[in-house]
Structure formats: C-alpha cells, structure tokens
Amino acid sequence: MAAPLVLDFDHSVGTLAGATRLDLAQWQERIRFGSTLRTFRGFVGELQPRLPRDYGTVLLGSGDYHHLSWPLIQWQAAQGPLEVVVFDNHPDNMRFPWGIHCGSWVRRVAALPGVSRVHVLGISSGDVGLAHAWENHLAPLWRGRLEYWTVGVDVGWMRRAGLARASHAFDTPAALLDAFGERQRAATTPVYLSIDKDVLSADVARTNWDQGRFAEADLARGIGLLAGRLVGSDITGEVSQYRYRTWWKRRLSALDEQPVIDAGELAQWQAQQHALNLRLLACIEAALQPRAAERWRSR
C-alpha cells in the first residue's frame, strides 16, 4: 500500500508513519464547509501539482472537508471505471446555493463519466426523511447513479416517488451490511471508498457532526465486503474547532448545530480519532485489490 496522504487544513490528523503531509492551513477559511466553484477549482488547481506521484489513503481532516473527495475520485476514475462506496451518516447529496460544500458533493461524483454508481451507506440522519426530501438532488437517484442505504429512517416518500430501487431501508447496521454484501458478491467493478466517521456512534469516536449508528466492527465489516476490488480511499470525520470569518459559513454551521468543544475534550477526542485511523488504515490495506498500488492515481 502506498503511504497515506494528509491534506492538513485543520491540524486534526495525528502523525502517521511515512505519510506525506501537505500544509493547507492558508486555505481553511476559503474551503472549509463550502466554497464557490471558482474558489474550489482554484484550490484544486494549486493542489494537484503538489501531490506525490503515488499515494494511498487520503486523510482530509474534519468532515467539513468531505467535498475534497470529488476531485480525488475524479482523478481516480480517469484510470478506469469505478463504483464509489461512501460510509456516511448523511447523504451528502443536498442542494447548496453557493457552489460546493461538504454536504453536496455526491451529486457531482455521481455525474462523473467514469463512475457507474455511488452507494451511500449508514445514513441515519433526517436529511433523507420526508421533511428534507426537497433538499435532496433527485436526478442521480432517478437515473440509477446513486443509492441510499439507511438505518432507522423513514424513507417511504422515496418509494412513493418511484425511487424504490434507489432506497434501501434497514432497522440495524447488521441487516444493511447483510443486504449490501449480497449485492456485492458477484460485483467486479473496482471501488473507491470514502469514509466519514460520523457514520459511527459517538461512543466510538466524536466528530463535528451528528452521528450515526455504526459500531467500529460494522465499519470494518463494510470495508471487508470490498476486498479484492478496492483501488482508492479517503477518510474524513476528524474533530476540530474553527471560528469562521465568513458570515454565511457562521450561519450555516450554527444551523447544523456544530458544537463548541472544550480544549481538554478536543485533545482527548483527537487522540481517540488517531487510534481509530490506524485501525481503519489496517482494514483498508487488507482490502486492497491485488496490485492496487499500480492502479492508484499517479501523475
């Protein structure tokens, strides 16, 4: 497995042996949570030449940076067709008026020519409930490019809207993984994996966002279901604290009820997250497709 790559906006990712760490703190205000497409594309244009020729799992920091998965997947999909599997407590397929943000990137990935389908697993957020149905981009669901795999959420509106094939509702993570495993049994398309650790219960590791119902063992099992097909991956969901200067970011983050975190708790939670990252990286390495390092994006 190629060495991990840390996109270090918020200094939340602990030291990883052999990792390449890019200091991106100067971009934090402009990229964190969301940005205009012009700003985002400017950032990506500056990032790409700084990347190592080969790299393994990319660690993005807080879930406020999950939209960075979009260019990472785009670069990987240029090497050949992919399915994308996202473990996340949220669909990340929501409408956003200012360009791109951490909750709207999945629609853009589902539209990439090299991506055959996106599966978002572990959603227990109300974002996919009836009250927020209008906020979801329905086109990728209608077209069979995106599927929601939910736990404990009433998504009956999707069936009534003719989206039954894009909606898979379960009472427990175990039942979800049983069904997903059956779907994956005969699959051969290479997979890019994106993990937002807010899919996990807060008992496992704390994040900046409301959290799901997966145990660590559930997430490890889900990664294992992709064994032999995994060719790229990223991890987000670290916990970090930041005060926005941009008014709309302050407003939207307040609406999302992102908590103020005590400094002592922050250090403790980041240590917990670091230990979890080491275990997740080991799971990912075990699931890598044979000779995956040769398929990993290189410039």
3-state secondary structure of 200: strand
3-state secondary structure of 55: coil
pLDDT of res. 255: 76
* CA neighbor of 13 nearest in space, from 63, 78, 70, 81: 63
3-state secondary structure of 101: strand
pLDDT at 234 over 90: yes
Give bridge partners of residue 146 from the DSSP assignment.
Answer: 118
pLDDT at 292 over 70: no
Q: What is the pLDDT of residues 87-129, one digit of tens each?
A: 999 999 999 988 999 999 999 999 999 999 999 999 999 999 9
Calculate mean pLDDT across residues 266-290.
93
Calculate mean pLDDT across residues 150-177.
97
Question: Are 234 and 57 contacting, i.e. CB atoms less than 8 angstroms apart?
Answer: yes
Q: What is the pLDDT of residues 166-186, one digit of tens each?
A: 999 999 999 999 999 999 999
* Cβ-proximal residues to 99 (8 Å cutoff; 6+ apart), any chain: 34, 35, 36, 37, 38, 39, 40
* CA neighbor of 150 nearest in space, from 133, 134, 132, 166: 166
* Cβ-proximal residues to 23 (8 Å cutoff; 6+ apart), any chain: 8
Q: Give one word for 102, left, alpha or beta, with left for phi > 0 and alpha for psi -120 to 50.
A: alpha
SS (H, E, C) 242-288: CCCCCHHHHHHHHHCCCCCCCHHHHHHHHHHHHHHHHHHHHHHHHHE
pTM score, two decimals? 0.94
pLDDT more than 90, % of the chain = 86
* CA neighbor of 120 nearest in space, from 37, 190, 176, 186: 176
The lowest-confidence range among 19-28, 124-133, 243-252 is: 243-252
pLDDT range class, residue 296, cuts 50, 70, 90: very low
pLDDT at 259 over 80: no
pLDDT of res. 290: 64
pLDDT at 156 over 90: yes
What is the architecture, at CATH level 2, of domain 5-295?
A: 3-Layer(aba) Sandwich (3.40)
3-state secondary structure of 96: coil
Q: Which residue has the tokens 């939910």?
A: 150
pLDDT of res. 253: 77
Calculate mean pLDDT across residues 219-228.
97
pLDDT of res. 293: 42
Q: Which residue has the tokens 């279901």?
A: 225
Q: What's CA 226's distance to the chain center, in Å? A: 16
Strands (E), the chain: 5-8, 20-23, 34-35, 58-59, 82-87, 100-101, 115-123, 146-151, 167-170, 191-196, 230-236
The lowest-confidence range among 20-34, 83-97, 234-248, 257-271 is: 257-271
pLDDT range class, residue 299, cuts 50, 70, 90: very low
pLDDT range class, residue 297, cuts 50, 70, 90: very low
pLDDT of res. 289: 67
pLDDT more than 70, % of the chain = 95
pLDDT at 32 over 70: yes
d(Cα 121, Cα 142) in Å, to the nearest integer?
A: 18
Q: What is the pLDDT of residues 58-92, one digit of tens each?
A: 999 999 999 999 999 999 999 999 999 999 999 99
Q: Which two tokens stand for residue 255?
A: 């609406």
Calculate mean pLDDT across residues 197-202.
97
